[in-house]
Amino acid sequence: MGEFVGIDPRGAHELIRRMEAGKAFLGRTRPSLDAAIAEAGPDWAGHQGSTAVRRAWAFFHESQQDLRWRVDTAEQLVPVRERGLLTADFPFGSESEARQDAEDTAAAVRAALDDPRALARALSAAVGKAGDPAYAAALLAALGPETFTGALRLLTGAPLGEADAAPLARAFAGAERTGRLGDEWHALAETAPAEVLTALVSLAGPSGTFLGRVALALLDRPGPVGDLGGLVAAFAANPVAFQEFLAGHPGQAATLLTAAAGDPGLDAALRAALEPGAGAEGLRERARATVRRIGGG
């Protein structure tokens, strides 16, 4: 069962930092305390000894984990970033509850991989929950990259596939943005099929870093460039990522601007990335110079 949460991310991060300092102090203190207790033997006057230190360390550690989960979840659920208090209705009351629910969903997904309709029904359980990064990370960990990719590929090739695939894309974005993806996911941008990558960036908002990697992967692959509408839409939603791509990869930018010429979404993406005040001035001007060299503006 979920709960209504109000939290100040800035204050929470400061508390997490202080608890980390406390853990470091306790970690340095415990070996000396253990040695002193051993040396004193039966003459040790304390009652709990280093057990109390271990409990204090564990309390700080568990509190840090809970705070990080609450901050990450609130920031995923609240679309507009503002200073101060964030409030949100959490789908789960704890991180462990989120993980257990995700594992149940993953089991249902694995049992439905040969039927798009059954798979869509299994993923309907994730609607409204994928914004919880603990749920998202646990779902992805339980599925693994191969099963995850297969499920997305099955859905994107089926009627109404985009709507049905959205929970998986949102789960990936939530886990990726909050740094909860395991090492086994690092090669996904380079290895997944084009339709899977397009779904991941167009149906949810991954980080600008992942979006840039997907763009390079799609544009550098041999053979004709496919439909880039989803990539263009993702860049339109993330103007700073588009600036970084234009400024840092002029060759691939030329391929994109040429292949997507005539797409009204491209014009909107360019306006958002190049308009005065968008992003850092230096990066924006480098992006603008790339577009001018290509002949797009």
CB atoms within 10 A of CB 31: 10
**pLDDT for position 132:** 95
The pair of three-digit structure tokens given for residue 268, joined into one six-digit string? 């909107």
The per-residue DSSP string of 97-137 comes to HHHHHHHHHHHHHHTTTT-HHHHHHHHGGGTTTTTSHHHHH
Q: Which of 210, 142, 137 is nearest to 180 (CA)?
A: 137
SS3 88: strand
Give the whole-angstrom CA distance, residue 169 versus residue 167.
5
Q: What are the C-alpha distances in Å from 283 to residues 21, 84, 235?
A: 36, 29, 15
203 phi and psi angles, rounded to 5 deg: -90, -15
Give the whole-angstrom CA distance, residue 286 versus residue 292.
10
**Average confidence (pLDDT) per 10 residues, the chain, 297 residues:** 85 93 92 85 73 90 93 84 80 95 97 93 93 96 96 81 87 94 91 93 93 95 86 95 95 94 91 90 93 77
- Between 50-77 and 9-40, two packed helices, what is the crossing angle to 10 degrees? 170
- Average pLDDT over the chain, rounded to an integer: 90
Q: What contacts 195, CB < 8 A, 6 or more positions away? A: 152, 153, 156, 157
**pLDDT for position 225:** 80
Span 21-76, pLDDT tens digits: 999 999 998 888 888 888 888 777 766 777 888 899 999 999 999 999 999 999 88
Contact between 79 and 85 under an 8 Å Cβ cutoff? The reply is no
Position 243: which residue type? Q
Residues in the chain: 297
Q: What is the pTM of this model?
A: 0.85
Cα atoms in the 13 Å half-sphere on the side-chain side of 203: 23
Strands of the chain, DSSP E: 3-7, 86-90
**pLDDT for position 245:** 96
Percentage helix, strand, coil, to 5, in the chain?
A: 70, 5, 25
Give the whole-angstrom CA distance, residue 210 versus residue 206.
6
**pLDDT for position 43:** 72
Cα atoms in the 13 Å half-sphere on the side-chain side of 295: 4
**pLDDT for position 159:** 63
Distance separating the N- and C-terminal Cα atoms of the chain: 53
